[in-house]
Chain A
Amino acid sequence: MFKRLTVLVTCIAILNLGSPLVAQAAVIGTLQAAGDSGRVADLSTIGNALARSEVREQMLALGVEPVDVEQRIAALTDAELRTLAGQMAEMPAGGDALAVIGIVFLVLLILEAVGVIDVFKKFP
């Protein structure tokens, strides 16, 4: 009896989850219309939710304060969330000014030249 009730409630919950998707899909939003028609627009709501969840995890892992995470995510479009998901550790992160980089780089170049280290073997 309890099992049937659980199944019934779950079914109703899933059906309710289903309806808004149908209503929203019918009106074509401006972002969808304005986006580059060459892009394959994957509008799956499930995919967007997954991306959102992944970005949330990544932000926390990368040191964002929990109290800031939701607001940061809320201001990103679905397409941006999809771009970020899985890439936040590799994408360009603007941070350092040249001076520090340049000196480190030059020092390493010199050390390489005198044979102390062998760091540039990846260069063609």
Chain B
Amino acid sequence: MDAVRFVRVAVILPLVLAAGCAATGTVLSRPGRGDVPTKVDLEQTPFFPQVDHQCGPSALATVLSASGLPVLPADLVPEVYLPARRGSLQPELLASARRRDRLPYILPPTSDAIVSQLAAGIPVLVLQKLGAGPWPGWHYAVVIGYDVETQVFLLRSGTEPRLEMSAARFLATWDRANRWAIVVLQPGQMPGDPDAGRYVEAAAALEAIGRNDAAGIAYQAAATQWPRDALPRLALGNVALSRGDLAAAEIEYRRAIELDPGDAAARNNLAEVLLRRGCVSAARSETEIAAALAGTGPLAAAVDDTAARVAASGNSDEQGCPAP
């Protein structure tokens, strides 16, 4: 064996081995908050040993069942498995959860976020990159516990019901998978350490694919959880509008604007409601404010549209319209 090849292996081998062990992120930090325990073991989480390359269906069945929806991996294979890829893609796991009226909530990319969910009793579905180079070893597993003292994460993984992985190694494999982790929630159920934007966006995805009842429950929960946030109010207004309840929609949009006068979307949508009521003058003032707020940003096109329709509606108001 020539010298070059020897050197290559002598350098590569330790690096490759180290790559599996290197702590590219951080270790498991001692929780900063008193109510987060130093050790969690969600041993009651169901277990579905993986078959063939179907860690996607197994992992998803695990978290769906844990959320109160008994389902077997075999039920999920036709929803998430891609035979030619011998695996499952992340967006399809989200889609499959949504089809069953579960809200898939994508976690912030920190180990604290995983810990928060586990401390709240919710198992976490993660993507890991277990291999390297031409064999990336993409793998889905479910984190069911952690221990700060021994620096381990506990996973349901493949055919292992209780795989203890050192925190350093787990975080390295998760880091290489771009730190993708989700929990699946019942509509209305909050994740650990909930974030309003992430939660409403997740609920909005449910609405976008037509699961309106589930989305509505989630939006209501968001409005309760974050009473000073305008976004859940906009969401509730949109739900009311889509079922034709103009009065309810107007109430929600006005509430959103009260909470955030700079909410261009709420003002635009309020203008839409006012227009449908025949209150052209009031609609016009709202579109003017909305246009100023939207500027040249992503909402500008929709606002311009509304403004154009208001302009085309003449000048007279119906009875009982608010002053502009």
**Chain A interface residues (CB < 8 Å from chain B):** 22, 25-35, 37, 40-41, 43, 59, 61-65, 68, 71-72, 74-78, 80, 83-84, 88-89, 91-99, 101-102, 104-105, 109, 112-115, 119-120, 122-123
CA distance A4 to B100 in the complex (A): 50
**Chain B CB within 10 Å — which of A34, A40, A76, A120 has the most?**
A34
Query: Can you list the 8 inter-chain pairs with the closest CB atoms, starting with the nearest?
Result: A95-B87, A93-B87, A63-B83, A97-B158, A95-B53, A75-B95, A31-B204, A94-B140
Question: What residues on A are CB-neighbors of B231 within 8 Å?
Answer: 30, 33-34
CA distance A88 to B85 in the complex (A): 9
Question: What residues on B are CB-neighbors of A35 within 8 Å?
Answer: 201
**Chain B interface residues (CB < 8 Å from chain A):** 1-2, 5, 8-9, 12-13, 16, 50, 53-56, 59, 78-79, 82-92, 94-96, 98-99, 127, 129-140, 157-159, 177, 197, 200-201, 203-205, 207-210, 219, 231, 234-235, 238, 241, 264-265, 268-269, 272, 297-299, 301-303, 305-306, 309
| CB-CB under 8 A for A34 and B268, given A74-B209, A92-B129 | no
Question: What residues on A are CB-neighbors of B210 within 8 Å?
Answer: 74
B128 to chain A, nearest CB (A): 8
Among A30, A99, A101, A105, contact of B234 (Cβ-Cβ < 8 Å):
A30
Question: What residues on B are CB-neighbors of A114 within 8 Å?
Answer: 1
Among B91, B135, B301, contact of A105 (Cβ-Cβ < 8 Å):
B135
CA distance A115 to B86 in the complex (A): 31
B109 to chain A, nearest CB (A): 14
B107 to chain A, nearest CB (A): 16
Q: Which residue of A lies closest to B50 (CB)?
A: A97
Question: What residues on B are CB-neighbors of A25 within 8 Å?
Answer: 301-302, 305
Among B56, B96, B204, B306, contact of A26 (Cβ-Cβ < 8 Å):
B306
| CB-CB under 8 A for A95 and B1, given A26-B272, A33-B231, A71-B99 | no
Asked if B88 and A93 make an inter-chain contact with CB atoms under 8 angstroms apart, the answer reads yes
Among B13, B137, B238, B305, contact of A22 (Cβ-Cβ < 8 Å):
B305
